[in-house]
């Protein structure tokens, strides 16, 4: 298995620190609002990474943090006129509801930053002792000039880092890229006691403490969106290595940007969508298919046409399973032949190559077509159906297969009713009253009653 490591900008053989185990940390949300569809790409893709590693036999420990104290949270609390804690709790609940609705598995650990304040203070004290942190009027900063490896992840050079777009200008800092470890409390803000006075920790410090604590030191995979490479992940590395001279993680994974209709998502462009917004129009598997149809490191364009195509693709999977009457199959007594085993091997090869989900999906299509092909004998079609579901579940599909197949049957029935209504309308236009009445009467015998109105014909199921 090979993973593209952002640290070295190349694919590398994946060798976990402990045989048979993978420890991974995925940056979670700052809970001041509902998370947007760009965040959903990261949460959903790394859910697939976790599922695949488990499929390959690894015991995975998956940690995803919650940032429940930060500037944006404080601003939101002022807007809503509520405490920071109540805002955090509201959006933690919403976050868990939305990831569940997206079919994302719950993390093994979901630490909240405010639960680890004491450990963060200890880390900052250690960095101060090591000479890489300094205090100015109650604020504590990390001195990037004192850490030789600064920029190793983002490949940025110190002399190129000026106060600007990604680095806050601050005359208290020795270098424009120095970042905050501890923020002095302002009136009315949440605060904790510390050696530097009352205040709160910086965002970059939170993830270092929580990841190392729960994953027991250096871990295997640290993941998140490409926008987190700098400064967030770069600053995590600086603190971790400056404090104990050990890597924070061995593999750094980042998913690409998401654009909306070719433009960067922005509230000012009125193209800002939360995952909750999109879930009102498209189901979780459609969204999952959309994201997985492109390699995770590539940018992806979020538009209605591709979503419609993704929905149709997922429906095709279920249609093939419906044709084979999948729910009635005795799966335990269906064994694979070399043909299914080859598709499985090809699927694994695609996923082993830096999680090439787009290629992996092509093997699901291949299986789906074979399920539908009438020239295959029934046993062969059943084998392909079983493999389709097995590999699909690795990518997070078919988790509610019973409900979905029954739903598909209902949708098909509705389409047939609408089709009969259309035929009846055509018969009436042609003044074929006998056929029109027969369609109405036959539907009524099935418990479907038609109601002709000025705007068209409605129908209802009656006892």
Domain assignment present for residue 177? The answer is yes
Domain assignment present for residue 286? The answer is no
Residue where a domain terminates, one of 369, 399, 429 = 399
Q: Are residues 418 and 389 in the same domain?
A: no
Residues 323 and 372 sit within 8 Å (Cβ to Cβ) = yes
Domain assignment present for residue 14? The answer is yes
Partnered with residue 230 across adjacent β-strands are none
List Cβ neighbours of 136 (8 Å cut-off, separation of 6 or more).
172
What pLDDT sits at residue 367?
Answer: 96
Q: Are residues 371 and 413 in the same domain?
A: no
Compute how many other C-beta atoms are within 10 angstroms of the C-beta atom of residue 403.
Answer: 9
Residues 196 and 63 sit within 8 Å (Cβ to Cβ) = no
Domain assignment present for residue 276? The answer is no
Q: Are residues 130 and 242 in the same domain?
A: yes
d(CA 438, CA 278) in angstroms, rounded, equals 42
Q: Are residues 229 and 378 in the same domain?
A: no
What pLDDT sits at residue 162?
Answer: 64
SS3 92: helix
Range of the domain at 448: 408-461
What pLDDT sits at residue 267?
Answer: 63
Domain assignment present for residue 299? The answer is no
d(CA 67, CA 319) in angstroms, rounded, equals 42
Q: Are residues 384 and 440 in the same domain?
A: no
d(CA 265, CA 260) in angstroms, rounded, equals 6
Closest CA to 271 of 37, 30, 33, 44: 37
List Cβ neighbours of 24 (8 Å cut-off, separation of 6 or more).
46, 49, 50, 60, 61, 62, 63, 215, 219, 220, 221, 222, 223
d(CA 351, CA 48) in angstroms, rounded, equals 10
Residue where a domain terminates, one of 399, 421, 449 = 399
d(CA 384, CA 79) in angstroms, rounded, equals 55
| Residue 228: CATH number of its domain | 3.40.50.620
What pLDDT sits at residue 169?
Answer: 59
d(CA 440, CA 428) in angstroms, rounded, equals 11
Q: Are residues 154 and 189 in the same domain?
A: yes
Radius of gyration of the chain (CA): 27
Compute how many other C-beta atoms are within 10 angstroms of the C-beta atom of residue 231.
Answer: 20
d(CA 371, CA 378) in angstroms, rounded, equals 9
Q: Are residues 217 and 116 in the same domain?
A: yes
What pLDDT sits at residue 269?
Answer: 67
Closest CA to 391 of 309, 292, 312: 292
Closest CA to 239 of 113, 149, 109: 149
Q: pTM for this one? A: 0.87
What pLDDT sits at residue 256?
Answer: 96
Residues 223 and 49 sit within 8 Å (Cβ to Cβ) = yes
Helix axes 338-352, 378-394, angle to 10 degrees: 20
Structure tokens at 72: 């944006």
What pLDDT sits at residue 145?
Answer: 95
Q: Are residues 213 and 311 in the same domain?
A: no
Question: How many secondary structure helices (H) and strands (E) does the chain include?
Answer: 14, 15
d(CA 1, CA 226) in angstroms, rounded, equals 22
φ, ψ of residue 318 in degrees (nearest 5): -70, -35
d(CA 307, CA 94) in angstroms, rounded, equals 24
Q: Are residues 227 and 131 in the same domain?
A: yes
Q: List alpha helices for 130-187, DSSP H.
A: none
List Cβ neighbours of 186 (8 Å cut-off, separation of 6 or more).
none
Q: Are residues 428 and 329 in the same domain?
A: no
How many structural domains are present in the chain?
3
Domain assignment present for residue 82? The answer is yes
List Cβ neighbours of 308 (8 Å cut-off, separation of 6 or more).
none
Structure tokens at 150: 């600064």
Q: Are residues 244 and 311 in the same domain?
A: no
Q: Are residues 368 and 456 in the same domain?
A: no
What pLDDT sits at residue 406?
Answer: 80
Domain assignment present for residue 195? The answer is yes
| Residue 393: CATH number of its domain | 1.20.120.640
Residue where a domain terminates, one of 399, 422, 446 = 399
How far from the centroid of its chain's Cα atoms is residue 85's Cα? 25
Partnered with residue 139 across adjacent β-strands are 136
Domain assignment present for residue 274? The answer is no
Going residue by residue through the chain, which has 463 residues, state the pLDDT in tens, using 9 for 90 and above: 999 999 999 999 999 999 999 999 999 999 999 999 999 999 999 999 999 999 999 999 999 999 999 999 999 999 999 999 999 999 999 999 999 999 999 999 999 999 999 999 999 999 999 999 999 999 999 999 999 999 999 999 988 876 443 445 577 899 999 999 999 999 999 999 999 999 999 999 999 999 999 999 999 999 999 999 999 999 999 999 999 999 999 999 999 999 987 777 766 667 778 999 999 999 999 999 999 999 999 999 988 899 999 999 999 999 899 989 999 999 999 999 999 999 999 999 999 999 999 999 999 999 999 998 877 899 999 999 999 999 999 999 999 999 888 876 677 787 888 899 999 999 999 999 999 999 999 998 888 889 887 768 878 776 5
What pLDDT sits at residue 275?
Answer: 95
CA angle, 54 then 56 then 61, to 5°: 30
List Cβ neighbours of 291 (8 Å cut-off, separation of 6 or more).
40, 41, 44, 45, 300
């Amino acid at each position: 298995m090979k993973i593209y490591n952002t640290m070295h900008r190349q694919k590398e053989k994946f060798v976990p620190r402990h045989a048979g185990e993978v420890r991974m940390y995925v940056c979670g949300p700052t809970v001041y609002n509902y998370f947007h569809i760009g965040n959903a790409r990261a949460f959903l893709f790394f859910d697939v990474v976790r599922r695949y590693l488990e499929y390959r036999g690894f015991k995975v420990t998956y940690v995803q943090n919650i940032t429940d104290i930060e500037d944006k949270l404080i601003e939101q609390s002022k807007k809503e006129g509520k405490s920071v804690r109540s805002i955090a709790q509201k959006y933690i609940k919403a976050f868990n509801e939305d990831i569940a609705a997206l079919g994302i598995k719950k993390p093994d650990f979901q630490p909240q930053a405010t639960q680890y304040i004491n450990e963060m203070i200890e880390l900052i004290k250690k960095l101060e002792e090591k000479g890489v942190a300094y205090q100015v009027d109650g604020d504590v900063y990390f001195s990037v000039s004192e850490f030789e490896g600064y920029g190793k992840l983002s490949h940025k050079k110190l002399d190129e880092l000026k106060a600007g777009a990604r680095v806050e200008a601050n005359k208290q800092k020795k270098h424009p890229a120095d970042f905050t470890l501890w923020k002095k409390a302002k009136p009315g803000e949440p605060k904790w006691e510390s050696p530097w006075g009352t205040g709160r920790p910086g965002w970059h410090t939170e993830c270092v403490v929580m990841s190392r604590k729960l994953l027991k030191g250096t871990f295997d995979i640290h993941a998140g969106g490409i926008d987190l490479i700098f400064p967030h992940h770069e600053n995590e590395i600086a603190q971790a290595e400056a404090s104990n001279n050990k890597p924070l993680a061995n593999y750094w994974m980042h998913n690409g940007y998401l654009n909306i209709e070719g433009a960067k998502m922005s509230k000012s462009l009125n193209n800002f969508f939360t995952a909750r917004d999109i879930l009102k129009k498209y189901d979780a598997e459609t969204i999952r298919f959309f994201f997985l149809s492109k390699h995770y490191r590539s940018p992806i364009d979020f538009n209605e046409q591709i979503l419609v195509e993704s929905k149709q693709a997922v429906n095709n999977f279920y249609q093939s399973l419906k044709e084979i009457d999948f729910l009635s199959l005795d799966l335990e007594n269906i064994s694979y032949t070399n043909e299914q085993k080859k598709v499985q091997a090809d699927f694994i090869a695609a996923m082993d190559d830096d999680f090439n989900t787009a290629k992996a999906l092509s093997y699901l299509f291949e299986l789906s077509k074979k399920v539908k092909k009438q020239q295959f004998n029934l046993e062969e079609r059943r084998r392909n159906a079983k493999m389709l579901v097995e590999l699909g579940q690795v990518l997070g599909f078919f988790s509610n297969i019973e409900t979905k197949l029954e739903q598909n049957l209902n949708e098909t029935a509705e389409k047939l009713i609408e089709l009969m209504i259309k035929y009846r309308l055509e018969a009436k236009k042609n003044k074929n009253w006998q056929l029109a009445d027969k369609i109405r009467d036959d539907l009524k015998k099935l418990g479907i009653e038609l109601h002709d109105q000025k705007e068209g014909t409605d129908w209802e199921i009656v006892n």
